[in-house]
Structure 1
Amino acid sequence: MTDAVIVAARRSATGKRNGALSGIHPADLASTVLADLVATTGIDPAVIDDVVFGCVSQAFEQTGDIARTAALGAGFPEDVTGVTIDRQCGSSQQALHFAAATVASGQADVVIAGGVESMSRVPMGSTSQGKSPYGQAFKSRYPGDNPNQGIGAEMIAERWGFSRTQLDEFSLRSHALAAEATDRGDFAGQIAPVQTESGTVTVDEGIRRGGTLESLGKLNTVFREDGVITAGNASQISDGSAAMLVMTPAKAKELGLTPLVRVHTAVLAGDDPRIMLTAPIPATAKALKRSGLSINDIGTFEVNEAFAPVPLAWLKETGADIERLNPQGGAIALGHPLGGSGARLMTTMIHRMVNQNIRYGLQTMCEGGGQANATILELV
């Protein structure tokens, strides 16, 4: 087995629901990022063995194996294949795991991993069309209401004792850090410009400046009347795409490319599908055990902010330093384009590791069905 290294990572800006990117077909949005990734590195796309892309709502405009149609739209040769995968919110992080395994095992030399989701054009729930995805055998094992992520977030807040104020404070932190990172130009080197009828989109749309606990406190709860989860302390419905170029070190040397990070450890974990959102905790423990590293060895973390209780519970259980967690903001501010989020978080973390000379970074995110990916990257 050889190493799998990432030599480039690019993403679109994240658009708000019905915002700047909503007029772009999701395949075209993905094509833009793929074409930019190739242009950034200067490689001949003919060397790409496969494109592995995550997409959650594979309905309407996101059907037809969007990885393949996006690759063709990006101008890649017809013999460059593409496959679309769904591990819910972690789909494009899983795409990296598949790409890294394919490269490390010698089945391919060059693979693009990434994802896309246009939640404006293909809303959540489009795939089920009102039909339950849970069969009778599942319902017999887990009786009661069908699992719901929002209810799961409420359950986490209750189990770990988080107040509405604590969740809103964390949300304000996310927006403040994302605004500071944007103002410093932290994201400029990772965002692929997207041309729209209204102009070029290069800035994340969801960041809100000047929020207060008072303003967040006026928002109604969404999932329980007496609950704590609101639109203000949950991730945003978004549009976006991201992609990473993965290869062997030998292929990088042959192509004259400099590896940025290597995929050090990649694991999965499952947990109770009813609470659904707690698996990042055992996934992190599993990744640390397999890697031989401690939580204090990790210089930066990306834990997806699907809902504020998710990273807060993760912090409590892992004992990680909050200053290392999502230091440029998370999905509460930057948005959560489902199938593209894992690659978006990874792209942001890779650039941070390179720019700040951070040796190890760990990313994990909750996923539908009570699952989580966890990935440790090591700076090369």
Structure 2
Amino acid sequence: MTAYIPYGAYWSTPFARWQGSFSHLHSIEFAAHVAKSALAARSLTPETFDFAAYGMTVPQYRSFYGTPWFTALMGAEHLAGPTVNQACATGARLVATAMGEMAVSGVETALIASGDRTSNGPHAYYPAPDAPGGTGQGENIVMESFNRDPFAKCAMVDTADNVARKLGISTEEQHEVASFRAEQYAAALADDRAFQKRYMEAEFPVPDGRYRKTVKTLQGDEGIYPASPEKMAALKPVMPNGSVTFAGQTHPADGSAGMVLCASEARAQEIAPKSGPVTQVLAVAQGRDELAHMPAAPIRAAKRALKVAGLEIGQIDVFKSHNPFAVNDIAFARAFDLDWKRMNNYGSSLIWGHPQGPTGLRAMIEMIEELEMRGGGTGLFQGCAAGDSAMAVILKVG
């Protein structure tokens, strides 16, 4: 089974560092608000679609209703569909979900979208009537998910330190990657953000919580700090006996993104909002690494995706990754004998942030646009996720 992405039928908001300009917005309501506007701007109506799936990883008030609520808010009350959560692999999982529906139920045109707000994460209480005194357990869902894998018994940063230790990756090399990734992101801001404007609004209006007025306007991502090799060199590792500093890892953020997929190339050409090449999904695959080695998991996912697509690594023109740690890119490049400088042109989550669910969608959107600028070719997206897991997607443009 394959799927096709109409050129220009995708979008992303800017990403705002947590507790920033999107921190007051309910992620489902905000994603529906963004999707409704984005589809209208592309002359795509709700009737265009016969399937939808929404991805989220941080619960919101009444998010139990998930995708049916999201679609209803954007005016597509005929669309049901699953609500998807695979941590930071949610974007890739949404692609696989849509393709699965095309294979088993004849879906022709699917809308996938994701939104997450790591800001102001919920605090949950789980009753335990059989515990002493009936005392239950409390959880800060965002912070504790970052800091405690219930099976591996460690924080996510520990998994990066483990991979760095295993492969002999120094703090200095991690900082070199982070500095270079910042330069690549700067290229997306050149010429008045010419690259980002290919898929993101030039001026993004931030609504109030009731969506009645605009409270401010963002011109691109918010809260990104300039890279400074001198300041990086002065940083100490986050964990004792570790090598990963705050400069070598991403930051939590808020945002949303969306994409349209079609079951046939003809359908994708028919509804494409602007002239350009159709993108074909060649493969989607997942993988899982050894315990507490999350940043290495994309290696296994990518190998499996390449096998499904019948390709060798040398046939990939563009590489894009969800890289919550600089360690991710170094480990991946070593595994495939690549120069990590070939990866992540125009930006990556290491720099523009980590709202979890929509992160992979944005990376794939940027990969499509880079491939279009090259005149076509094949791209590989890969990214890790909680539980030492990962997913990979291979796309062909033109």
TM-score w.r.t. length of structure 1: 0.89
User: Which residue pairs with 1:38 in the alignment?
Assistant: 39
User: Which residue pairs with 2:181 in the alignment?
Assistant: 174
Q: 1:316 and 1:126 mapped to 2: Cα distance?
A: 43
Q: CA deviation at 1:106?
A: 5.0
Name the CA shift for 1:378/1:187 in 2 (closer, same or farther; >3 Å).
Answer: same
Letter in 2 for 1:340: P
Name the CA shift for 1:200/1:320 in 2 (closer, same or farther; >3 Å).
Answer: same
User: 1:60 aligns to what SS in structure 2?
Assistant: coil
User: Which residue pairs with 1:66 in the alignment?
Assistant: 66
Q: 2:261 and 2:125 mapped to 1: Cα distance?
A: 31
Task: Give yes or no for contact 2:329–2:340 (8 Å, CA) kept in 1.
Answer: no
Once the two structures are superposed, the pairs formed by residues 175-194 of structure 1 within 5 Å of their partners are: 175-184=182-191, 185-192=194-201, 193-194=204-205
Once the two structures are superposed, the pairs formed by residues 61-210 of structure 1 within 5 Å of their partners are: 61=61, 63-76=63-76, 78-122=77-121, 129-130=138-139, 146-184=153-191, 185-192=194-201, 193-196=204-207, 197-209=214-226
Task: Give yes or no for contact 1:271–1:279 (8 Å, CA) kept in 2.
Answer: yes
User: Which residue pairs with 1:226 in the alignment?
Assistant: 241
Q: 2:281 and 2:390 mapped to 1: Cα distance?
A: 17
Q: 1:129 and 1:244 mapped to 2: Cα distance?
A: 36
Letter in 2 for 1:374: A
1:322 equivalenced with 2:340 (yes/no):
yes
Q: CA deviation at 1:254?
A: 4.8
Q: 1:126 and 1:175 mapped to 2: Cα distance?
A: 40
Letter in 1 for 2:113: G
Name the CA shift for 1:358/1:147 in 2 (closer, same or farther; >3 Å).
Answer: farther
Letter in 2 for 1:203: G
Q: 2:215 and 2:371 mapped to 1: Cα distance?
A: 34
Name the CA shift for 1:152/1:180 in 2 (closer, same or farther; >3 Å).
Answer: same
Q: 1:332 aligns with which of 347, 350, 353?
A: 350
Letter in 2 for 1:277: P
Alpha-carbon RMSD:
2.6
Between the two proteins, what is the percent identity of the paired residues?
Answer: 24
Comparing 8-17 with 29-38, greater Cα deviation is found at 29-38
Q: 2:75 and 2:261 mapped to 1: Cα distance?
A: 19
Q: 2:81 and 2:74 mapped to 1: Cα distance?
A: 12
Q: CA deviation at 1:95?
A: 0.4
User: Which residue pairs with 2:134 in the alignment?
Assistant: none
1:244 equivalenced with 2:256 (yes/no):
no
User: 1:278 aligns to what SS in structure 2?
Assistant: helix
Task: Give yes or no for contact 1:27–1:62 (8 Å, CA) kept in 2.
Answer: no
Letter in 2 for 1:204: D
Q: CA deviation at 1:329?
A: 2.1
Deviations 1:261-281 (A, max 9, x none): 010111111222322231101
Q: CA deviation at 1:108?
A: 0.7
Q: 1:15 and 1:220 mapped to 2: Cα distance?
A: 26
Structure 2 unaligned residues grouped into runs of 5+: 127-136, 208-213
Letter in 2 for 1:150: V
User: 1:51 aligns to what SS in structure 2?
Assistant: strand
Deviations 1:217-274 (A, max 9, x none): 333432x223221221111110011111011224335546666301011111122232
User: Which residue pairs with 1:277 in the alignment?
Assistant: 295
Comparing 266-275 with 110-119, greater Cα deviation is found at 266-275
User: 1:122 aligns to what SS in structure 2?
Assistant: coil
User: 1:64 aligns to what SS in structure 2?
Assistant: helix
Deviations 1:111-140 (A, max 9, x none): 112311111132699999439999xxx98x
Q: CA deviation at 1:166?
A: 0.9
Name the CA shift for 1:28/1:219 in 2 (closer, same or farther; >3 Å).
Answer: farther
Q: CA deviation at 1:16?
A: 0.8
Letter in 2 for 1:170: V
Q: 1:216 aligns with which of 223, 232, 237?
A: 232
Task: Give yes or no for contact 1:12–1:194 (8 Å, CA) kept in 2.
Answer: no
TM-score w.r.t. length of structure 2: 0.85
Q: 2:62 and 2:381 mapped to 1: Cα distance?
A: 26
Q: 1:335 and 1:253 mapped to 2: Cα distance?
A: 32
Letter in 2 for 1:200: T
Deviations 1:64-100 (A, max 9, x none): 2433322222222x11124211111101211011112
Task: Give yes or no for contact 1:34–1:71 (8 Å, CA) kept in 2.
Answer: no
Comparing 212-221 with 113-122, greater Cα deviation is found at 212-221
User: Which residue pairs with 2:50 in the alignment?
Assistant: 49
Q: 2:5 and 2:224 mapped to 1: Cα distance?
A: 28
Q: 1:27 and 1:243 mapped to 2: Cα distance?
A: 12
Once the two structures are superposed, the pairs formed by residues 272-311 of structure 1 within 5 Å of their partners are: 272-311=290-329
1:235 equivalenced with 2:250 (yes/no):
yes
Task: Give yes or no for contact 2:330–2:340 (8 Å, CA) kept in 1.
Answer: no
User: 1:312 aligns to what SS in structure 2?
Assistant: helix
User: 1:205 aligns to what SS in structure 2?
Assistant: coil
User: Which residue pairs with 2:211 in the alignment?
Assistant: none
Aligned residues: 368
Q: 1:183 and 1:124 mapped to 2: Cα distance?
A: 41
